[in-house]
Amino acid sequence: MVRIMRWLFPGVGLLILAVMVGLVVLFNVLSGLGATNMMLTSEGLVMDHPELSGHDGDRSYRVTAYRAIQRLSDPRVIDLETIRADITLSKDQSAQIVALKGTYNNATESLRLYEGIQLEWSEGYTVDLSEVEIDLSNGALKTSQVVSIRSDQGRVVAGKLDYDKAKGIVRFSDGIKMTLNPASQGQ
Amino acid sequence: QTFSDAFAGFGSNDGEPIEIEASELRVEDNNNTATFVGDVLVTQGETSLKTQRLKVFYVGSGAEKTEESAVQQKISKLEAAGGVFITSKDQTAKGDEASFDMNKEVMVMTGKEVVLSQGPNVVVGNRLTVNLKTGQANLSAGNGKVSGQGSGRVKVRIQPNSVNNDQNGN
């Protein structure tokens, strides 16, 4: 019995040490996140007003949130609340997304937003959708819920949308309805 | 003049909005085209077009990108394929393919049999050209060899005393 305990204590000690080291690493990884203050709760590591950003070439993204909860089960996954994402797609094209809920996955550099989303696209379009998956590294968007895109030129409503930035193809499927307003400016 | 205003509905600067429904739409920014696929229905005012595939070319395809942003791009051409059925008031036109040149405002519909009808009157040929601005339509049957049947002449069937009804006053 004693022999087991002798193993147990060092083992437990090691475990606590590992967790402590893990937390230290976690904290300075998170400091890169620029979170103002952090609390450890049962849900995970809660950060107030965190800010995440990344860029490559002229594409960049900046995601801010009211609150972010980093899952202890998988620190690469962060659940966000009341999110604002500013994505610069290219020199003259950018998109701004606001949403109530979201999940940022550091491994796949993807951001899934759901619940009350509105996306303003610099091309003069507003996109309303209930859920969207954004690949932050190349700006590809995908949604399998109804999406509507409005601009003063007209409106498109579709069952599904996926936007492949690399090939420059936007695909609306599952039924689409488009309304083109009469050309207001005469020829 | 029976078709005088029928097809003017598709003129690019008409005052009414255009509604387009389909099962899928692919917008390809690189070559400035948008393709509607699957039971495509285009309606504008009293004119409607049904087809299976409608490809929309907007300005700048191939040419350099104009300064104004994508929003102000103008439609330069439409191509409908997979059967085309256009109706406007009591006039209809049916063919295999149709292309609309929005700059010249001309529509050309072709097919093994292009059938143009106005009320009970039917005209059959294999190539219909319509000036979308004036609505002036001209149907030809090309040489018989092409359509493979008939003598390449337009077939017309006019219902007696149907033409001189009060067609918008003329």
**A48 and A33, same structural domain?**
no
**A24 and A107, same structural domain?**
no
Chain A residues within 8 Å of chain B (Cβ atoms): 92, 122-125, 151-154, 156, 158, 167-183, 186-187
Question: Which of the two residues, A5 and A156, has the higher pLDDT score?
Answer: A156
**A84 and A59, same structural domain?**
yes
What is the bridge-based pairing of β-strands A140-143 and A125-135? Answer: antiparallel
Nearest-angstrom CA–CA distance, B18 and B43:
6
CATH number for the domain that contains residue A92: 2.60.450.10
Mapping DSSP onto H, E and C, the string for chain B reads CCCCCHHHHHCCCCCCCEEEEECEEEEECCCCEEEEEEEEEEEECCEEEEEEEEEEEECCCCCCCCCCCHHHCCEEEEEEEEEEEEEECCEEEEECEEEEECCCCEEEEEEEEEEEEECCEEEEEEEEEEECCCCCEEEECCCHHHHCCCCCCCEEECCCCCCCCCHHHC
**Of A152, A172, A181, which has the smallest distance from its Cβ to B24's Cβ?**
A172
**A65 and A30, same structural domain?**
no
Provide the pLDDT for residue B5: 47
For residue B84, give both structure tokens. 């085309």
State pLDDT tens for residues B36-61. 999 999 998 888 999 999 998 887 53
**A162 and A75, same structural domain?**
yes
Count of domains forming chain A? 2
Nearest Cα residue in chain B from A155: B19
Contact between A79 and A63 (Cβ < 8 Å): no
Region A2-18: mean pLDDT is 58
**A50 and A126, same structural domain?**
yes
Nearest Cα residue in chain A from B29: A168
Mean pLDDT in chain A?
78
Kindly report the nearest CA distance between residue A159 and chain B, in angstroms: 9
**A53 and A7, same structural domain?**
no
pTM assigned to the model:
0.68
State pLDDT tens for residues A135-155. 877 778 888 888 888 888 888
**Residue A162 pLDDT class (50, 70, 90 cuts):** confident
Question: Which of the two residues, A58 and A48, has the higher pLDDT score?
Answer: A48
**A156 and A74, same structural domain?**
yes
Chain B residues within 8 Å of chain A (Cβ atoms): 12-30, 36, 69-71, 74
Query: Lowest mean pLDDT: which of A6-15, A27-36, A67-76, B59-68?
Result: B59-68
Backbone φ, ψ for residue B9 (5° rounding) = -55, -30
State pLDDT tens for residues B97-154. 999 998 888 999 999 999 988 888 888 888 999 887 787 888 888 654 444 454 567 7
* Cβ–Cβ gap A173/B29 under 8 Å: no
**A150 and A65, same structural domain?**
yes
Provide the pLDDT for residue A168: 83
**A96 and A8, same structural domain?**
no
- The share of chain A scoring above pLDDT 70, in percent, equals 78
- The share of chain B scoring above pLDDT 70, in percent, equals 71
**A79 and A13, same structural domain?**
no
Nearest-angstrom CA–CA distance, A171 and A154:
17
The end-to-end CA distance of chain A, in Å, is 93
The boundaries of the domain holding residue A116 are 44-186
State pLDDT tens for residues A85-134. 888 877 888 888 889 999 988 888 888 988 888 888 887 888 888 888 88
**A58 and A3, same structural domain?**
no
CA atoms within 13 A on the CB side of B136: 3
